[in-house]
A = this chain, B = another copy of it.
Amino acid sequence: MTKEKALAAGLELFSQKGYSNVGLAEILKTAEIPKGSFYHHFKSKEAFAIQVLERYSNCGLVNFKSVLLEQKGLSPKERIKTFYSDRANEFEQKQFVKGCLLGDSCSEGGVSEEFKAFVGEQLEEWQLTIERCLEEGKENNQISKTLDTRMMASVILNGWEGAISRMKLSKSRQPLDDFMQSLDLLI
């Protein structure tokens, strides 16, 4: 329970302010746990952050894969648009204070190489999911056979993360909508 509260607080705080800008004190206060308990369950702030990230990525991937790989009635483009449209609505509901934990961690400084490597691996997994989705579209003749799916998956993932950064800064969903509109030209 204590561990659970800590992870929930970490998810909330990190996705709003980023790893470097959240102090342990704030985590403890939000989770309502004492420092001793925290260091009993986690060996360091960074190890804790990786666990938060792991949970975030895994939970997200479950949904991502179910939308991108299992909606057999929809074309790849429709699947991708569905997923991103839902995310955009969520971001808007929370008034653009939360972003993508994984994407934001991309540009986090002051973290170990292990941390960065973990983020990189997770992003690879997300990208690979997009690629598989596109490949399936090729098989069904919903997508041009000449399309470089790896390249396209990379462009989509990175474009989306870039749009989220801009969204957070401008407190507007316009960048997200722009991105989604561009999918019509890309796929």
Contacts and interface: CB of A to CB of B under 8 A. Distances in A.
Interface of A: 17-18, 20-21, 99, 103-104, 106-107, 109-110, 116, 119-120, 123, 148, 151-152, 154-155, 157-163, 165-166, 168-170, 174-175, 178-179, 181-182, 185-186
Contacts of A116: 169
B169 A17 contact: no
B107 A165 contact: yes
Contacts of A158: 159, 162-163, 165-166, 175, 178-179
Contacts of A107: 18, 99, 104, 107, 165, 168-169
A120 B169 contact: yes
A53 to B, nearest CB: 13
A162 B152 CA distance: 14
Contacts of A155: 159, 163, 178-179, 181-182
Given A152-B182, A159-B155, A186-B182, A17 B168 contact: no
